Amino acid sequence: MALVDTRKMFKTAYDNGFAVGAFNVYNMEITEAIVAAAAEERAPLILQILPITRKYADMTYLRAFIDALIALNPGIPIALNLDHGDSIETCKKCVDEGFTSVMIDASHLPFAENVAATKEVVDYAHPRGAVVEAELGKIGGIEENVPGVTRNDVKNNLTDPDRVVEFVAKTNCDSLAVACGTSHGAYKFKTEPKIAFEVLQAVADKLPGFPLVMHGSSSVPQHLKDLINKFGGDMSDARGVPEEAIKKACKMAVCKINVDTDLKMVMTAVIRQVFAEHPKEIDPMNYLGPARDAIKEIVKHKLRVLGCAGKAPQCL
């Protein structure tokens, strides 16, 4: 089957209290691992590409690779989303290239300008069969080279529930990323994690039936921190979003959960371990291969946490 857009999977997710996992892809091993996990768990899937990834890896190659994986795994619906589209032009280009979803991140602009930019992308994407994710409020963190707010300012930049109805009505966007206390990267919280569920709930109440998106939702698992630290890394003060909080969000109106950092941590931990334990190892297959296997396992775990494992048939 071809790439799908996110409408059917979001409707199914909203109606059944789960969320679809959205994972960033950078290279062959990571992409293979994510798709293999979704296939084994029979889960709907969103693959994401950041503007910076488009500069790192030629899209001709990435797209051919994704198409090959789709052909090899016909039983699961897969959407391709531009993550944090940084300009109207990039969003339009991705629509032209066949992305089935684009995110326009104009959240750093004043409300009226965010509306105007989002609307222009929607007006371009919808007639061409793609859907649009927008963002209102500012999500924290800087790790994805996107304009974000510092960890200390996260609570001052949460989505204002009183503006979401006007924003969605004026832009006609298909889903909305909500700033609710999460942030990008591995250093989300200084102390105990705090998710503003009251903001998520207030936004959900204002927009019945409308799919919300949670960014920056890696959990930064302790065992991965320990492995990285044990083999020469330093992630001692990294902190993520607890899985219980993720599960709670999935039961609300959150239909898409973005996870990136945890997969990067797995890859880093495995490669560090191989290098430390086998200092003579120089064959990339012998460190990228185990990394691929480990990424597949953590993605399978995530898909179960999000509740989307086994849901692929309902989303087709």
83 in active site:
yes
83, 86, 174, 262: which is the annotated catalytic residue?
83
Q: Is 188 in the site for Zn ion (CB under 5 A)?
A: no
Instruction: Tell me if 215 contacts Zn ion by CB under 5 A.
Output: yes
For residues 4 and 100, the answer to whether their CB atoms sit within 8 Å is yes
Q: Decide if residue 256 touches Zn ion (CB under 5 A).
A: no
Kindly provide the residue ranges of all beta strands, DSSP E only, lying in the chain, ordered along the sequence: 20-24, 45-49, 78-85, 101-104, 131-136, 175-178, 212-214, 254-259
Among residues 215 and 292, whose Cβ is nearest to Zn ion?
A: 215
| For Zn ion, the closer CB: 92 or 215 | 215
Tell me if 176 sits within 8 A of 168, measured CB to CB: yes
Beta pairing, strands 101-104 & 175-178: unpaired
Beta carbon of residue 83, minimum distance to Zn ion (angstroms, whole number): 6
Bridge pairing between strands 78-85 and 175-178: unpaired
- Interface with Zn ion, residue 292, by CB under 5 A: no
- Scanning 42-50, 147-155, 212-220, 226-234 for contacts with Zn ion by CB under 5 A, the matching segment is 212-220
Closer residue to Zn ion (CB): 188 or 215: 215
Task: At 16, list the tokens.
Answer: 């059944």
Q: Is 48 helix (H, G, I), strand (E, B) or coil?
A: strand
Q: In which residue are the tokens 């849901």 written?
A: 311
If the CB atoms of residues 176 and 227 are measured against Zn ion, the closer one turns out to be 176
**138 contributes a contact to Zn ion by CB under 5 A:** no
Give the shortest CB-158-to-Zn ion separation in angstroms.
15
Which residues would be at the binding site for Zn ion (CB under 5 A)?
A: 215
Positions annotated as catalytic residues are 83
